[in-house]
Structure 1
Amino acid sequence: MTDQMRLSQERTQLFTDLMDGKIPKRVPVSALFAHEFAIQYAGRDLTEVQWDTTDLEATFEKVSEDFFSDLLPVSAFRMPSFYKILGSKNFVMGSNGFLQHPEVEGLAVEDYDAFIASPYNCIVERVLPRLYSELNRDPLTRSLVMAKAFNAFTDETGNTGRIYGNLIQKYGYGYTNFFAGFCEAPFDFLTDQLRGFKNISVDVRRIPDKVEAAVNAVTPLMIKMGNQPVPQKYNATFIPLHMAPYLRGKDFDRFYWPSFKKLVDGLAEKGMRSYLFVEQDWMRYIDYLAELPAGTVMMFEYGDPNLVKEKLGAKHIISGFYPLSLLKTGTKQQCIDKAKELIDILAPGGGYYFSFDKVIITQDSTNVENTKAVLEYVSSNANY
């Protein structure tokens, strides 16, 4: 057995123990860097490498060489090629080289009844032609555009999948995959891609019955969307949580929580664990999160780590809380001290792995030397 294979087994075991409810040998570490950071860090041009991904592997290798992580630290979630082919309005490449998600309205208010009757048909027939201009064409052209876009999508994902495999082998990363599936909370899906933040805020007051019916109607579709190709207890389906902190308590109770819990429960019933990015501050809803299936993985952006440990630590898997803002502005010692503080709070008894409070997207959002120092500190000083 090679040293890299042995290292990969050790790292995989850390996460296997974590998800089995056992205390691992040390606190596992998962650092997450977006492909935009990797391209910038390697000194390449964002506007070039994203359109011609020939050098993407080399940029990912630079991150793997320089930053400690037990899991693959780099990913390319969205590439611009297939969005360009589709004439996308919901994901648009900015002049700075970053793919932007502007406010969109894919579902008109008069479409609610059609959506409630059949979400899938409504999305195909009404929403997609609004969000993607090249699909608002005659049937033959639309079919050719979709075929070209899907071919570009499979080319991109096939290439990144190959790169991921190479890096996992070369650097001995663990085989746990927290992104084995992807979906959204039903209310978030209705907001993000269909109605938009402004419109949904009006809808919950003017047509609440239709909003409630819509999130209930789309829930089975979200469960299907979140299915992993090969369900495995040591992988997870990624679900970023967006709208809950912006809702009043009574609106959260009615529109957000019931369908979201049904989604997570539905995946669990199929043997699939959920990985939640708990965006913004969920502390007023912390008791709700305690109701989710045991072993749900939760990466927190903001909030009180002491309260989260108290309320969720015995049942769920916790990560996050480490502020990228401190990496940017603090001294090296301040950054290390913050890592120690979070480990002291969250690590006792297990159920915790170290990560930052969000994915590192741009090189100027962090101090590279501080980031390296924190990751190295945790890897060497967080043994049980």
Structure 2
Amino acid sequence: MTDTMALSQERTQLFHDIIDGKIPKRVPISVSAQLEFTIQYAGRDLTEVQWNPVDLEEIFDKVCQDFISDTLPVMAFRFPSWYKILGAKNWVMSSSGFLQHPEVEGMAVEDYDAFIESPFDCIVERVLPRLYSELDTDSTTRAMVLAKAFKAFHDEMGNAGRIYGNLIKKYGYAFVNFYSGFCEAPFDFVADQLRGFKNITIDIRRIPDKVEAAVEAVTPWMIKMGTPPKPSYYEATFIPLHMAPYLRNKDFERFYWPTFKKTVEGLKAVGMRANLFVEHDWMRFIDYLAELPEGTIMMFEYGDPKLIKEKLGKKHIITGLYPVSLLKTGTKQQCIDKAKELIDILAPGGNYIFGFDKALITADSVNIENTRAVLEYVANNAKY
């Protein structure tokens, strides 16, 4: 057995122990740098590489060389090619080279009844032509555009997947995938891509019954969307949580929580756990999170780590909470001390994966030396 194979098995076992409810040999580390960070870190042009990612493996490799993680520390969710083909309005390349998600209205208020009756038909017939200008055409042309976009998608993501496999083998990363599926909380889906932030906040006051019916109608589709072809006990479906912190408690209880819980439970029923990015501050709703199926992975952006450990640490898997902002503003010792503080609070009893409160997005958003020092400290000192 090669050294990297042995290292991969050792790292994989750390995560399997966490998922099995056992205390691993040490706290596993899972950090992630988004595509834009990796390109900037390698000293390359953002726009050039995203449109022509022939050097992507070399770029990702540099991050793998320089940053400690037990899981592959690079990811690429989106490339501009297929959005360009579709004429996307919901994902637009900015002049700075970042794909951005502007406020969009894919579904008019008059479309609620059609959406409630059949979400899929409404999205295909009404929403997609509004969000993607190249699909607002005759059926033959639309089919050709979709075929080209799917070809670009599979080419880009297939290349990325090939690179991931090469780097996992080269550096001995754990064979775990907490992003093997993707979906949204039903309310977030309606808000993000269909109605927009502004409109959904108006809708829940003016037409609450229709909003409630819409999120109920789309829930089975979120479960289907989040279920990979071969569900696995040791994998997870990624669900970023967006709107809840901006809702009043009574609106959260009516519009957000019931269908979100149903989605997570539905994934559990088909053999998938949820990997939640608990965005912003969910401390108001922490008792709700405790009701989710056991072993749900929760990456917290903000919150009280002591309260999170107390309320969730015995039932669920906790990660995140380390502030990326500190890596930019703190001294090296302050950064290491923060890691020690979080480990002391969250590691006892297991169910903890060390991670940052968000993915690394830009190379200048952190002090590189501080970041490396923190990861080295955790790798060498977070043993049980």
TM-score (norm 2): 1.00
Q: CA deviation at 1:229?
A: 2.2
Cα deviation, 1:2-48, whole Å, max 9, x if unaligned, reads 00000000000000000000000000000110011000000110010
| Matching of residue 160 in structure 1 with residue 167 in structure 2 | no
Which amino acid is the alignment partner of residue 285 of structure 1? F
2:39 corresponds to which residue? 39
Map 1:310-321 → 2, pairs under 5 A: 310-321=310-321
CA distance in 2, matches of 1:252, 1:298: 19
2:133 corresponds to which residue? 133
2:79 corresponds to which residue? 79
Cα deviation, 1:42-62, whole Å, max 9, x if unaligned, reads 011001000001001110000
Q: CA deviation at 1:234?
A: 0.8
Cα deviation, 1:96-128, whole Å, max 9, x if unaligned, reads 000000000000000000000000000000000
CA distance in 2, matches of 1:262, 1:36: 34
SS of the equivalent of 2:209 reads helix
Map 1:1-384 → 2, pairs under 5 A: 1-384=1-384
Cα deviation, 1:111-161, whole Å, max 9, x if unaligned, reads 000000000000000000000000001111111110000000000111000
CA distance in 1, matches of 2:14, 2:229: 24
CA distance in 1, matches of 2:47, 2:292: 41
CA distance in 2, matches of 1:123, 1:336: 48
| Percent of aligned positions that are identical | 75
State the number of aligned residues. Answer: 384
Cα deviation, 1:228-278, whole Å, max 9, x if unaligned, reads 221111110000000000000000000000000000000001110100000
CA distance in 2, matches of 1:230, 1:79: 25
Q: Which 5+ residue runs of structure 1 have no aligned equivalent?
A: none
TM-score (norm 1): 1.00
SS of the equivalent of 1:274 reads strand
CA distance in 2, matches of 1:305, 1:119: 39
Which amino acid is the alignment partner of residue 258 of structure 2? P
Which consecutive aligned stretches of 4+ in structure 1 deviate over 4 angstroms post-superposition?
none
Which amino acid is the alignment partner of residue 273 of structure 2? R
Cα deviation, 1:150-173, whole Å, max 9, x if unaligned, reads 000000111000000000000000
Q: CA deviation at 1:208?
A: 0.1
Which amino acid is the alignment partner of residue 111 of structure 1? D
CA distance in 2, matches of 1:103, 1:140: 29
CA distance in 2, matches of 1:129, 1:353: 42
SS of the equivalent of 2:90 reads coil
CA distance in 2, matches of 1:3, 1:161: 23
Cα deviation, 1:177-236, whole Å, max 9, x if unaligned, reads 010000000000000000000000000000000000000000000000000221111110
SS of the equivalent of 2:275 reads strand
CA distance in 2, matches of 1:139, 1:284: 47
CA distance in 1, matches of 2:270, 2:139: 37
CA distance in 2, matches of 1:177, 1:150: 23
Q: What's the C-alpha RMSD, in Å, of the aligned pairs?
A: 0.4
Which amino acid is the alignment partner of residue 363 of structure 2? Q
